[in-house]
Amino acid sequence: MIYYKANLVNLVGCVKSAPTHRRLVDAVCRRGLDAPYRVLSHRKPVTLTEVLISIFLMALGLLALLALFPVGALTMAQAVKDDRTAHLGYTAEAVARFQGLRVDPNVWPAYANPYAPAAPPLGALPDLNNTLPTYFGPSYPVFVDPIGAQAYSATQWGAWVGGMGTPPAVGIPRRGVSFATTLAQIYRWFTLLDDIDFGDNGIPLGAPLSFQRKGEFSWACLCQMNQYSPPPYQPPSGPTTGIKLTVVVYYKRSLDLTTGLTPPGETPYQATVPPNTSRLITLSWNPAAGQDKPAVRKSTWILDATMGNPAANPPQNPHGYFYRVVNVVEPGSAGPNSIDVETQTDVRDSGTLQTIVVMESVAEVFEKGP
């Protein structure tokens, strides 16, 4: 910028604060006030080091932003799974109520006799009708699972959870229901029909004539009378009060109902509760007998399948409790071939706990009560 007739007095006032202005005054004094002069303002350039540092910081910010996308996708997938699971839990409860599942003819006899309609074999659990009036505990639990009863019908798993049907290691009986005897009926009542498969264009596959469903979510339930008493009426005409319902939701369980299949991830293990603990269960296995280490991790569901003997002195109550695993410690309290699993809730009837079944395909369990 070119200045004419510079005011020397004003420039001198800036000498003390700016060395550049001091040089300007010297130039004016040498050339005279009437002579034009040019002041060049120089800007410090940006170095290559500063450019590289800026690029590095920007790259860190972009990486942090990109890391949110997979986290968001995983969170969205879990949210969808939780929504489907909760939806199926309410649907299962509604189906159980209006279909009279608790007092279904295929379910009711097993409350008193797990071997029904056959008589209990020698050395097996007694028929509860033969223990009255000295027994006042709950009935035997019954696992109502038409999908499993059909798919595993040629094996012990078809009639027993964990395949435990040989005395004395008897588990919880698995039963179907009278209103779902065909494959179409089983799919209709015991899977999530709203789980429709969509194409890339957003239109349901098979529409408008039919819909293809993923079949990722299915359900079963555990029924048990809070206090067993022989029915004063002929089921299913009577009320269902006093029979608690526990809905078990499966995720990506095989829906291949070909008979003779063995369920993966439904394995029984010997179990104990360490002393002075309320939420710890020790699972043990015997490699020499062909048993593998339990596939238990955080969020796995396990089932207390201990069938106490009501005819014992004192009587032992049958169990049938589900627990969510929140932590796993290895090795466990029983030695090298054992693990300790911490449960989310307190262990019930811990003094008589004997058998735990690991339920790997279970996504969620809902206790609906009577």
pLDDT by residue for the chain (370 residues), tens digit each?
Answer: 444 444 444 444 444 445 555 565 565 555 554 555 555 566 677 788 888 898 999 999 888 888 888 888 888 888 888 888 999 999 999 999 989 899 898 998 898 888 888 888 777 788 888 776 777 788 899 999 999 888 888 888 888 998 887 776 678 999 999 999 888 888 889 988 776 666 777 666 666 555 566 678 999 999 998 888 776 555 555 555 688 999 999 998 888 777 666 677 888 999 999 888 889 999 999 898 888 898 899 999 999 998 877 777 677 888 999 999 999 998 888 888 999 999 999 999 888 888 999 998 899 999 988 7
**25, 32 Cβ separation under 8 angstroms:** no
The pLDDT of residue 357 is: 93
H or E segment at 3?
Answer: strand 2-3
The pLDDT of residue 258 is: 72
Helix (H, G, I), strand (E, B) or coil at 255: coil
CA atoms of 297 and 304, how far apart (whole Å): 17
The pLDDT of residue 1 is: 41
**5, 35 Cβ separation under 8 angstroms:** no
CA atoms of 107 and 173, how far apart (whole Å): 10
The pLDDT of residue 38 is: 56
